[in-house]
């Protein structure tokens, strides 16, 4: 670092476990960027104040994680069209005029990761209807997928389906958990499976999964969730949450710096860090 280094970071709560600093700093170093990325623990009630701090301190780029993706919206100057549709922001860009613009790279990162894995995106089942799910649904609709959404809350389910259909008419339907196996690819966007959050509960009946499926879990802690282990045992192709995390982070660096980093390098840095934490 130097007095001229650009500072980027992530806000969330909790955020101490985040792999984003490792991932982004590895890419900055590989490209010779005079940037440094840090994590800021921010209470939910202070999300708007954190955006004000970005202005005052001249922070060059910001990632936003749970539970702040919706809370920061009113403090920003403008929203990109997709962030406005899904009403969730995971990336803040400072323009040359100093305006702060909110974007969402979760959905496009998810599609990038699935495409790289060779997944069939013609029909996709999405489990969940929260901020991550809405972003994924919008990106899948843009990519031409037929989307079936499963969620316990009827109101949130209806809102998620509407987002898909407002992105591409007729693209998205509400579905029951028993029919999700009809989709070629299945994505869990819920926290079920996360360490400390019902990590032994499966978000779907894996008996509907077979070798014809690709199964992605947005959870990356642990890397091999119970869902992925069970899906792999049934012959399915699996994609872990770290793939999505790195792909969306690469999209963030495109927005901040105008160049795409090496996603494989970012993943390797994250795996080294995960190994270090397990010692």
Q: What are 185-201's pLDDT values in tens digits?
A: 999 999 876 776 666 67
Contact 62, 91 (CB under 8 A): yes
Collect the ranges in the chain with pLDDT lower than 70: 193, 196-200
Question: Which positions are catalytic?
Answer: 69
Q: What is the pLDDT of residue 266?
A: 98
- Residue holding tokens 């939910």? 44
Q: Are residues 59 and 96 in the same domain?
A: yes
Q: Provide the residue range defining the domain that includes 48.
A: 6-104+245-277
CA distance 61 to 202: 35
Q: Are residues 232 and 175 in the same domain?
A: yes
Q: What are 234-257's pLDDT values in tens digits?
A: 999 999 999 999 999 999 999 999
| Mode of pairing for the β-strands spanning 185-188 and 100-103 | unpaired
Structurally, the chain folds into a number of domains equal to: 2
Q: What is the pLDDT of residue 78?
A: 97
Q: Are residues 123 and 86 in the same domain?
A: no
Q: Are residues 118 and 230 in the same domain?
A: yes
Q: Are residues 94 and 34 in the same domain?
A: yes
CB atoms within 10 A of CB 276: 9
Concatenating the DSSP letter of every residue in the chain gives: --TT-EEEEEEESS-TT-SHHHHHHHHHHHHT--EEEEEEE--GGGHHHHHHHHHHHT--EEEE-TT-TTTTGGGSSEE-HHHHHHT--SEEEE-TTS-EEEE--HHHHHHHHHHHTT---SEEEEE--SHHHHHHHHHHHHHT-EEEEE-S-HHHHHHHHHHHHHHSTT-EEE--GGGGGGSSEEEE-SSTTBTTBSTT--SS-GGG--TT-EEEES--SSSS-HHHHHHHHTT-EEE-HHHHHHHHHHHHHHHHHSS---HHHHHHHHHHHHHHHT-
Q: Are residues 189 and 271 in the same domain?
A: no
Position 73 in a domain: yes
Q: Are residues 116 and 203 in the same domain?
A: yes
Query: pTM of the predicted model, to two decimals?
Result: 0.93
CATH number of the domain enclosing 90: 3.40.50.10860
Q: What is the pLDDT of residue 251?
A: 98
């Amino acid at each position: 670092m130097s007095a001229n280094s650009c500072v980027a970071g992530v806000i969330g709560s909790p955020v101490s476990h985040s792999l984003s600093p490792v991932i982004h700093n590895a890419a900055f170093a590989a490209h010779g960027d005079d940037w440094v990325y840090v994590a800021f623990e921010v209470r939910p009630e202070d999300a708007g104040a954190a955006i004000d701090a970005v202005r005052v301190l001249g922070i060059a780029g910001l990632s936003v994680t749970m539970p702040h993706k919706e809370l920061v919206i009113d403090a920003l100057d403008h929203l990109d069209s997709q962030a406005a549709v899904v009403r969730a922001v995971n990336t803040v860009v400072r323009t040359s005029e100093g305006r702060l613009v909110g974007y969402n790279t979760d959905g496009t990162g998810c599609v990038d990761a699935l495409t790289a894995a060779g997944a069939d995106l013609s029909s996709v089942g999405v489990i969940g209807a929260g901020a991550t799910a809405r972003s994924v649904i919008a990106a899948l609709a843009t990519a031409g997928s037929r989307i079936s959404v499963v969620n316990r809350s009827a109101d949130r389910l209806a809102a998620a389906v509407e987002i898909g259909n407002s992105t591409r008419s007729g693209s998205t339907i509400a579905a029951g958990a028993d029919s999700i196996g009809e989709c070629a690819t299945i994505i869990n966007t819920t926290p079920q499976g996360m360490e400390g959050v019902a990590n032994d509960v499966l978000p779907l009946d894996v008996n509907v999964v077979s070798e014809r499926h690709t199964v992605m879990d947005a959870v990356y802690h642990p890397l091999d969730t119970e869902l992925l282990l069970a899906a792999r045992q049934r012959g399915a192709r699996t994609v872990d949450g770290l793939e999505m995390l790195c792909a969306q982070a690469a999209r963030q660096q495109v927005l901040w710096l105008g160049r795409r980093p090496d996603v494989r390098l970012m993943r390797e840095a994250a795996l080294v860090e995960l190994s270090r934490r397990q010692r």
